[in-house]
Amino acid sequence: MGMFIPDPDRLQRTDYKLMNWSSEADADRVSISLSADCLRRLLEQQQLHVEDVSCLDRATKAKIRQMLLSLIH
């Protein structure tokens, strides 16, 4: 079986609708994982601000809190 290749001479119009990929009310947020060193570097260089970060668990919150305290001392 071959691969489907559309006819380039055929005029096709496709209307795309914006998808809400999250059923949550806060669909404009993403969850990612960074190394602690990368996070520290972004905070130190003011590429990321602590106000823009939310922690998903207590252990992460404690680590970030300690990191922030060490950055201000």
CA distances from 62 to 3, 18, 55, 71 (A): 52, 37, 9, 14
The pLDDT-based confidence of 29 (bands split at 50, 70, 90) is: confident
Q: Name, of 1-10, 14-23, 41-50, the range with top average pLDDT.
A: 41-50
| Helix, strand, coil percentages in the chain from 3-state DSSP, rounded to 5 | 35, 0, 65
Domain ranges of the chain: 36-72
pLDDT beyond 70 at 46: yes
pLDDT at residue 11, rounded to an integer: 55
pLDDT at position 34 is 92
- Report pLDDT for 22: 53
- Exposure string for 23-52, b = 16+ CB within 10 A, e = fewer: eeeeeeeeeeeeeeeebbeebeeeebeeee
pTM of the model: 0.58
